[in-house]
Amino acid sequence: MNIALIAHDQKKNDLVQFVTAYQAIFAKHTLFATGTTGLRVNEATGLNVTRFNSGPLGGDQEIGSMIAKNQMDAIFFFRDPLTAQPHEPDVTALVRLCDVYAIPLATNMGTAELLIRGLELGLLEWRNVVKKNGDINER
């Protein structure tokens, strides 16, 4: 499965620790990330991470493009709700795309724990059916 990793500055350490804790699960999947987050995850874990631009420079939009093309299966986006983000419209657009295309999105440690355990148990296999049969929104 294709998994995106994104974290606001104040949450990068949390995401790196999370990926490190579940490295064995993440290693079975193809990882994508925004710039600095991807670098930090790669340096801490040695996992191969395809890196996009940083979020404020369009990385969120690059991941959003993959969602719209049915090429992303899950998003771990550790958001900082207490700090204003200069690229908040991009963040909102990414969250909206996850809702439009039914992409599982974890925005905090609690939800991330549930999503990673579901991934481990194979509960996201329905994504393979969606990818095979086309866009979830096609009628």
Point out the residues that are catalytic: 60
Angstrom distance (rounded) from CA 97 to CA 63:
10
Contact 1, 25 (CB under 8 A): no
The label of the residue with tokens 């866009």 reads 135
Q: Exposed, middle or buried by CB within 10 Å (0-12, 13-18, 19+), for 28?
A: exposed
